[in-house]
Amino acid sequence: MDTVKKIITDLVGFDTVSDKSNLNIQDYIKAYLKSHGVDAKLVYNDEGNKTNLYATIGPTVAGGVILSGHTDVVPVVGQNWSTDPFTVVEKNGRLYGRGTTDMKSYLAIALSLVPEMLTANMKRPIHLAFSYDEEVGCLGAPRMIDEMTQTIPPVHAVIVGEPTNLEIANAHKGVRGYVFNLRGLEAHSSQPHRGVSAVEYAAKLIAELYHIRDTLAASPLKGSDFIPAYSTLNVGMVNGGTAHNIIAKDCSFTLDYRYIPGDDSEAIVSKIDLLVRRLSDRMKQDDPDSGITYDTREIPAFKAEMNGNAEALCRQLSGQNSTSSVSYGTEAGQFQERGYSTIVCGPGSIDQAHKPDEYIEIEQVKKGVQFIKDLIKWQAN
């Protein structure tokens, strides 16, 4: 446990909040692997200030298992931490620090067991795949996964180590994020007929979006183990206007749409498109330069596989027969849509993620170590 605790401490010590570079932590991981004779490959973003990392331990043959995790963490600004978030503190059987549960302990467990992987005479490899920018939309993993499909032999399973208390999650909702930008026409608030209020039209659009939300909530999916058992919409941030007595020229807001696998998400996307066009056209009737634009990105849903290799493997390693669905997004859907059998299973509780005084139970770390030890034995048989 001393080795894994040290690596957890080292990894948490890197401030890898998503708006910062992750090159330092990946340099550390690459150097650690190199010290054990393992070469790592880096897959950079376009700017060159962030990188994915993947590596193979064991023979370069088919039947490998990918251990997938992300190196970035969510911000600590505005949170009331009782300790330094980037210094691990151990107390009451817990390790406190940003990323301890989401998900640097999983990375550390895998890294700490590299020596055991190397001496186990595994017949099939274990691949490590550590990404950037998962927390801001799973932006980094796709280009790494695309390269891995070309450079490593066919894989038996992918285990995405997001915190599930080492329970088996075989499905999660898809996520489509929107940023809406409304441009109106400024005027004095005493002369509203001379202006086009971006704030007013943002309010109209938000009201329509919440009507869609309420319609979805009124028809939960029967038999679903998702909580809640329906697709959801949430407006998270709104920003607009310059003064109380000025018709607002600009307004922007974000929308988070999370859909259950199998739901007709494209129908909801089409409804949103129609709403935007209709309200934008209405704005343009009063001022041709006014209107609504938006950017969007998507994390694909992760669907339960029938007789999937990854689920069967995790059942065997953990001794569990039950599975669950989770509402948060992961990189699992990105692996799955590229043909990999995938599962989500990792130490720690999602209940502790993203909060001040984030922690992981040391007992969960121990169970995570045993889980990967059992995987090593399985790959050696």
Q: What SS3 state is found at 72? A: coil
- Given a contact cutoff of 8 angstroms between Cβ atoms, the answer to whether 125 and 60 are in contact is yes
Q: Which residue has the tokens 């065997």?
A: 316
- Distance (Å) of CA 285 to CA 50, 195, 248, 282, 290: 45, 12, 17, 5, 9
Termini Cα distance of the chain = 25
Q: For residue 344, what is the enclosing H or E element?
A: strand 342-344
Concerning whether 134 is annotated as a catalytic residue, the answer is: yes
Cα 131 to Cα 143: distance, rounded to the nearest angstrom: 10
Positive or negative: CA dihedral 29, 33, 35, 41 = negative
CB under 8 A, 24+ apart: contacts of 146-150:
146/338, 147/41, 147/43, 147/54, 148/54, 148/66, 149/338, 149/339
Catalytic residue among 134, 162, 311, 358: 134
Angstrom distances, CA of residue 22 to CA of 60, 94, 244, 276: 28, 26, 42, 37
The one catalytic residue in 72, 102, 162, 331 is: 72
Contact between 300 and 357 (Cβ < 8 Å): no
Q: Which residues contact 231 (CB under 8 A, 6 or more apart)?
A: 173, 216, 257, 258, 259, 260, 263, 265, 268
Collect all residues with Cβ–Cβ distance below 8 Å to 351 and sequence separation of at least 6.
none
Number of neighbouring beta carbons within 10 Å of residue 190 = 8
Find where tokens 């699992």 sit. Answer: 332
Longest dimension (CA), the chain: 79
Q: Compute the distance between CA of residue 243 and CA of residue 35 in angstroms, rounded to an integer.
A: 59
3-state secondary structure of 47: coil
DSSP category for residue 136: T
Active site residues: 72, 134
